[in-house]
Amino acid sequence: MIPSKVTIYEVGARDGLQNESGVISTDVKVEFIERLVAAGLPIVEATSFVHPTWVPQLADAADVMARLGDAGKDLPVLVPNERGLDRALELGLTHIAIFGSATDTFARKNLNRSLDEQFAMFEPTVTRARAAGLDVRAYVSMCFGDPWEGAVPIEQVVGVGKRLFDLGASQLSLGDTIGVGTAGHVKDLIGGFVAAGMRIDDLAMHFHDTYGQALANAYSALQEGISTYDASAGGLGGCPYAKSATGNLATEDLVWMLNGLGIETGVDLDAVVATSVWMAKHLGRPSPSAVVRALAAG
């Protein structure tokens, strides 16, 4: 049954900007986040406490969160390990996310750990975060395909996803990192998690639009009852460790479709479009979002 209300988990400020080669100022990042919150997006992932040599674009994570002040306390931040958690705790943040892999090759490239070793790395981080009262989200990447390993068996994705979730997460986001998923594959993957005992409400979907399938995939997930979707304002994003990964599902494209279905989001579409047009000027290129291009053209 298609849900009557959908939560959009905005990832533009973190996943959207992390792959940008040109340095974006802290001032612009802070204003970007503030604009997204003001547009009614209920969850805005702000940044990531990764080592700056991994993702140079987010080297100012602590400065961004400090600038946001109390308004940023409840915004999620990605943490790769306990050191990242320490930084989140020092700033009094309340919501973190971890980022695992469904495949061994990507785990080694992204985390410098094997498929099995990643759980040992995440376990103390999640345990400490939960003990401190923080909410924890778990991402699992390469759920539909891997550029090195090819197709990823559904049972493998389910096994990894459940192990990550069972560490103590409140939600599991299933990522089509390189955008090869199709509507039928989406249905089968969700069915695999449900068959393994996970609740629909504990799952979120994270689509990339490499093959132009992100909206179709989101509609397929809607039909399975999924009510949380990751999206990036203006369709920004990629993955610094998977060069075939292109932009995320654009927030504006998703909201346009959901509005047409009569599904409540609480998001001001015009405000998000205006924000993406503003950010495109700072990036020096137009937004890849079809809805942004259409509405910005009048």
239 is catalytic: yes
Tokens 């989101």 locate to: 218
Q: Which of 96, 239, 250, 254 is catalytic?
A: 239
**67 class by beta-carbon count within 10 Å (0-12 exposed, 13-18 middle, 19+ buried):** middle
The strands making up 43-44's β-sheet, listed across from edge to edge, are 43-44, 7-10, 228-231, 203-207, 171-176, 135-141, 95-101, 77-78, 47-48
- The dihedral built from the CA positions of residue 26, 29, 35 and 39, taken in this order, carries a sign that is negative
CA distances from 21 to 94, 250, 283, 284 (A): 30, 20, 10, 12
Euclidean distance between CA atoms 203 and 12, whole angstroms: 20
Least Cα distance to 76 among 52, 93, 90 occurs for: 93
Whether 18 contacts 55, CB under 8 Å: yes
Which residues are identified as catalytic? 239
